[in-house]
Amino acid sequence: MAAASTSSQSDIITPSSNDDLKIIVESNIPPSRLSELGINSWPKWGCPPGKYTLKFDALETCYLVKGKVKVYPKGSSISTDNNDFVEFGAGDLVIIPKGLSCTWDVLIAVDKHYKFDSNSTTT
């Protein structure tokens, strides 16, 4: 598939205690793939910089139009010494697993398109 060769994907295991809950970040998404996914028809959400405690009750796929976020799994500390985080920003397509509890450290205000899959399951 042509899109796979032009985008870069990295699987990042978020909580060290549960390998099934990983955030997947894809960068350099071609416009054709965004169109195929129907990103522009998804709802939009935004927030200012700050720290937000979140629990995902459904799998979320989102595309960041702007912003920069560091996501820390529940139980990890938010500090410059902590390397247990996932970072993503404008232009990234992000898949967040159902069941993940985390803190979003929003460094630059976020504007994103998102969709939830309420039928998602964790295994």
Residue 77: per-residue pLDDT: 61
Q: Give domain limits for the chain.
A: 24-116
Handedness of CA 38, 119, 75, 50 (dihedral sign): positive
Model confidence, pTM: 0.77
Q: What is the CATH number of domain 24-116?
A: 2.60.120.10
pLDDT along the chain (123 residues), means of 10: 42 46 93 95 97 95 97 73 85 96 97 85 46
